[in-house]
Structure 1
């Protein structure tokens, strides 16, 4: 038993509910500080990212992009036989990789001394959790909630039960010949790009007038133009109902028109996994978004209960959950308190073309800093000159007019995610436009454009 400073005794120092990225990191770091840790996961260790999110999805993105590579090869003198894609081969290898990674997560937790409990756990009081399957109760000095979020369907749409989400999409046994993807966020955009590239007749439908709300307006426009060439892009449109028919699914749209598809993938939002968690028992009320409110150090209103990751809805990204989990463990068990800065987050959308972003867009920068300088470059990448592919790269720098600090970088084009990871270091360090200007260009590359833009195209 663990004895606290107030003479209370507990079974463990830390009980983590949820085996995703944030919970796993927190458990490992806390155990490294000597804490006795148990972690409960009712599904598979690894969480959304590893099991049914960014990792398997990125593997599918890679699969889809080979189609462009095969087409582009001819411009460089290669004679490539007509390619044939086998969904079953990709699925089997993708699923095997996910299983391999899940094993690594479990092994690493074990090596760190963390006990994994393959059950659902619910909170009974400020220091007690109950394991649902066995009924066992475990007391803990600290409880960490790291249960993530789940995709949601539109419950008011008749026939919504016939749709699949970003969870079930990984279970498809065959490549849909016709698929409708509903949504305008990064999940919808990425999956629409995947299926279009793999050969499905893909429709991406969004109720708004542009994709990727919150991104820079020029990036949104450029992506819309690129996607309109790759698939059937329908903006300012809604789904009114679904019904099962002999040929698949009959979809009635907001304008009264109909279409038939084999699958409808809804990607219109995610919601924190708080149902049945036992929050009422300890007086934790969720916020308007359904998330658990926490302070800068991930502590809830109950001092012994913390929460990290998507369940807090601060920034629903795997690297953020990992950082929050690490910061929690350092603060609570390592006597090294620090809080995650959610204000500057490099991120990527693995669409085709890809998007990488760090910092402010034009609108938010202008609201924050007032006078800004905007540097913009749009060009045809060198590879496209021989392949003949109709594509453009778009790059933007947003600069604070008063300090000359670069406060936003936006890239649309091949390997934008890789580029923005490196650029994110400079922006996080507070690099100025002058710092960018004096950086020697690596020629010939796409990324060199970021250090060769000299004349602003907009200010104000």
Structure 2
């Protein structure tokens, strides 16, 4: 059995845990999938590169509202594929080659499972390889959930892991799911010319967002997609390229492509974690403390396989915490999830941080709401935007910011003002009145939403 000082299981964020400060150690990386993980190869980065492409196409289609006469010939899908994945695949290969060139790193390619405390068996192409380590970091990520009704049909389907690499744009696609992955990919393929039907069991899309955002987004895309809300898929029939999908109201949808985007599940069930003494919660997520230590001695975990928002920027921060704690065990850092922003790169763009209104109500908080619509600020006029808005929640007595939500262009950028304020403890009045807000920038929707709050004078 080959023994290492440190072993990292996973080469997404896990690969970023290791840098030259570990060069005095014998380090191992276990890679089942491509270097860069989901984010680089099948998630954040390719989906956003495609989303920007879709945004450009939609801008040309909508150019008439700015009195620009432009015609869209279409999206050159093969060229887009080459631009996006030609770059990302090369980056992934370079990442692996770079690690193999590191004198202090050994790369094992294959799926691993624990056989004992800090002992694993890696199923490589050359056969099973037993390895052990003094310390282990589990960063094995997750994978798309596929409902039994789809998996057991025997008919082809796509997930977020595969759909962005389709050789051709589907003519008719059914998107099963109404969350952020479904919303982003429906946006991309509609812009590319696909007729999209969305099947979602809840009565709104993006139901985890603030209720105002979810309701607005659902109505905005209702004319764009064929929405089947409050419905569930009960049967998949037909043949490849000619699918018949039956819903629980007996309606039938015909499509050539089915995209399953109903959520993701951690890969913990593939690791035999019980043999390592690593415990998981009821959702299969590895339980960790504030320092990201598991129940097993000298085993840490991070990323989509632990509780907490399954977001790349969260995983990056977890990686920084684990790196520090591995290098400085006597001065450990802790991970905080107090202020976690997120964004949905669809049309319109959406971003949030903190509490939704429904969460604030469920907690019994006395909160005030401030809003500003894009059409009420000068740059909103320039954009000819009649849909966007900013919504802020704050404690009514103190003015402490509780949450913020933006729907519209540049939402993922605009939300950062709230992230900084909540991180450093700035109240609503202080955030509105101390900085200068550029006129006529779109940031005025943030300023005006803050000033719309009815909060205490001492805030």
- Give the TM-score normalised by structure 2: 0.90
Structure 1 position 450 matched with structure 2 position 441: no
Alignment of 1:278-297 (within 5 A): 278-297=272-291
Q: In 2 relative to 1, CA 359–386 (structure 1 residues): closer, same or farther, beyond 3 Å?
A: closer
Secondary structure of the structure 2 residue equivalent to 1:274? helix
| C-alpha distance after superposition, 1:68-108 (max 9, x if no partner) | 21134344454324422221111121111211321453366
**Whole-Å separation in 1 of the counterparts to 2:347 and 2:383:** 16
Structure 1 position 31 matched with structure 2 position 22: yes
- Specify the alignment match of 2:353 in structure 1: 358
**Whole-Å separation in 2 of the counterparts to 1:386 and 1:424:** 26
- Specify the alignment match of 1:424 in structure 2: 419
Shift of 1:166: 1.1
**Whole-Å separation in 2 of the counterparts to 1:383 and 1:76:** 13
- Specify the alignment match of 1:307 in structure 2: 301
Shift of 1:116: 2.5
Structure 1 position 13 matched with structure 2 position 10: no
**Whole-Å separation in 1 of the counterparts to 2:318 and 2:357:** 28
Structure 1 position 233 matched with structure 2 position 217: no
Alignment of 1:72-83 (within 5 A): 72-83=62-73
Q: Cα RMSD (Å) of the superposition?
A: 2.5
Q: Which has the higher contact order (CA 8 A, sep 6+)?
A: 1
Q: In 2 relative to 1, CA 112–367 (structure 1 residues): closer, same or farther, beyond 3 Å?
A: farther
Pick aligned residue for 1:215 from 204, 209, 214? 209
Shift of 1:159: 2.1
Secondary structure of the structure 2 residue equivalent to 1:224? helix
**Whole-Å separation in 2 of the counterparts to 1:246 and 1:330:** 50
- Specify the alignment match of 1:55 in structure 2: 45
Report if aligned partners of 1:396, 1:411 keep a CA contact under 8 Å in 2.
yes
Deviates more, 1:34-43 or 1:70-79: 70-79
Deviates more, 1:144-153 or 1:279-288: 279-288
Structure 1 position 435 matched with structure 2 position 425: no
Structure 2, unmatched stretches of 5+, are none
Deviates more, 1:87-96 or 1:101-110: 101-110
- Specify the alignment match of 1:119 in structure 2: 110
Alignment of 1:3-402 (within 5 A): 11-21=3-13, 23-28=14-19, 31=22, 34-106=24-96, 109=99, 110=101, 113-133=104-124, 134-156=127-149, 159=153, 161-245=155-239, 248-335=242-329, 336-368=331-363, 370-380=365-375, 385=381, 391-402=386-397
Shift of 1:446: 1.9
Shift of 1:31: 1.9
Q: In 2 relative to 1, CA 320–102 (structure 1 residues): closer, same or farther, beyond 3 Å?
A: same
**Whole-Å separation in 2 of the counterparts to 1:112 and 1:412:** 48
Shift of 1:423: 3.2
**Whole-Å separation in 2 of the counterparts to 1:458 and 1:212:** 29
Q: In 2 relative to 1, CA 99–181 (structure 1 residues): closer, same or farther, beyond 3 Å?
A: same
- Specify the alignment match of 1:6 in structure 2: none
**Whole-Å separation in 2 of the counterparts to 1:68 and 1:258:** 30
Secondary structure of the structure 1 residue equivalent to 2:246? strand
| C-alpha distance after superposition, 1:159-182 (max 9, x if no partner) | 264322111212311000111101
Secondary structure of the structure 1 residue equivalent to 2:235? strand
**Whole-Å separation in 1 of the counterparts to 2:363 and 2:397:** 12
Secondary structure of the structure 2 residue equivalent to 1:91? helix
**Whole-Å separation in 2 of the counterparts to 1:28 and 1:268:** 35
Q: In 2 relative to 1, CA 138–169 (structure 1 residues): closer, same or farther, beyond 3 Å?
A: same
Report if aligned partners of 2:414, 2:446 keep a CA contact under 8 Å in 1.
no
Report if aligned partners of 1:27, 1:114 keep a CA contact under 8 Å in 2.
no
Q: In 2 relative to 1, CA 160–256 (structure 1 residues): closer, same or farther, beyond 3 Å?
A: farther
Shift of 1:425: 1.6
Shift of 1:455: 3.0
| C-alpha distance after superposition, 1:210-229 (max 9, x if no partner) | 12233211011111111112
| C-alpha distance after superposition, 1:105-137 (max 9, x if no partner) | 336645594332222222222132222224332
Structure 1, unmatched stretches of 5+, are 1-8
**Whole-Å separation in 2 of the counterparts to 1:410 and 1:455:** 14
